[in-house]
Amino acid sequence: MDAETKERLMTPGPPADAPSLAPNLQLSALTRREENEVIDLRRKHAYTRCADAMRYFSECSSNYTIGVVWKCSEHKDIMNECLRRANTVDDMDRARSIIVDRRLKNMEEKLSKPRKLF
């Protein structure tokens, strides 16, 4: 494999669009469940961004059983490098802003509904 193709596979795709939040909003005020959602969302975005590298490794690993450790080590390294590049602090902040934006929309919907006394 040439160096250009290898670098193309290791470079993740564009990051996910995320809403911009007010600077006074505390992103650290998330519940444990929301933090787990942030991690899952970041992981899904990284997998989407590195789909080519993961497909490249998957094609190699489908041809071998035990020999996958030796035969596909370069493929695995390319996939792991792409995932490492796709999982940055900025990506974690993007995922947090998406979760916080969801929470704010849910709160607005709850507040906009009329309250019933009985």
- Domain residue limits, the chain: 31-112
Average pLDDT over every residue of 24-30: 61
What are the Cα distances from residue 109, in Å, to 102, 113, 117?
Answer: 11, 6, 18
Judge whether residue 28 has pLDDT over 70: no
51-61 vs 3-10: helix crossing angle, rounded to 10: 110
Average pLDDT over every residue of 51-77: 89
Average pLDDT over every residue of 19-33: 66
Average pLDDT over every residue of 65-90: 89
Q: pTM for this structure?
A: 0.73
